């Protein structure tokens, strides 16, 4: 009988949007669609951002906090319709703008974990994000 795999399960607050599975892109940094992104090319453009030059398209972005202005509330939906959007947003804590933007775009968003989610998840991890259940599973690693 093959060994029973036990993915790492991280509990969080109930989120917004659909359940999705994908690959994590992680940084201990903050986020604003207007301040940090080249939304035409789908990459982080702010030179001082820890993910500068990285493509965010189709990735599950794991970051610390939402920052800055209100524009992200509109931008996520436009990014989604143009196919240049992250698959999901997994944050330690978001501000109202990111929550409103995710609700408007129908994009998966969760926050409020027991620990620092940018430490718990590594870039390249395979994740399943279930906002309705308030759960993120790390599928490629097991509880040691």
Smallest gap from Cβ 103 to other proteins, in A, equals 4
Question: Closest by alpha carbon to 138, among 6, 1, 50?
Answer: 6
Let me know: does 120 contact 53? Beta carbons within 8 Å: no
- Is residue 104 a contact residue for other proteins (CB under 8 A)? yes
- Is residue 137 a contact residue for other proteins (CB under 8 A)? no
Stretch that binds other proteins, among 54-62, 101-109, 117-125, 135-143 (CB under 8 A): 101-109
- Is residue 122 a contact residue for other proteins (CB under 8 A)? no
- Is residue 73 a contact residue for other proteins (CB under 8 A)? yes
* CA gap 64, 93 in Å, rounded: 7
Stretch that binds other proteins, among 7-15, 19-27, 120-128, 136-144 (CB under 8 A): 7-15
Quick one: 24 or 109, whose CB is closer to other proteins?
109
Residues 6+ apart with CB under 8 A from 43: 37, 53, 54, 55, 56
**Among the listed residues 58, 78, 126, 133, the single contact to other proteins using CB under 8 A:** 78
Give 16's strand partners. 109
* CA gap 81, 75 in Å, rounded: 10
């Amino acid at each position: 009988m093959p060994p029973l795999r036990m993915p790492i399960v991280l509990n969080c607050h109930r989120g917004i949007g659909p359940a999705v599975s994908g690959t994590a892109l992680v940084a201990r940094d903050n986020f604003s669609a207007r301040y940090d992104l080249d939304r035409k090319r789908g990459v982080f453009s702010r030179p001082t951002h820890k993910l500068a030059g990285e493509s965010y398209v189709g990735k599950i972005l794991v970051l610390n906090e939402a920052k800055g202005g209100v524009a992200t509330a509109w931008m996520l939906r436009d990014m989604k319709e143009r196919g240049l959007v992250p698959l999901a947003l997994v944050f330690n804590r978001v501000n109202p703008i990111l929550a409103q933007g995710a609700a408007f775009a129908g994009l998966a968003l969760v926050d409020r974990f027991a620990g620092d989610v940018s430490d718990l998840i590594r870039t390249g991890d395979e994740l399943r994000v279930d906002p309705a259940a308030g759960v993120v599973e790390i599928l490629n690693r097991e509880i040691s």
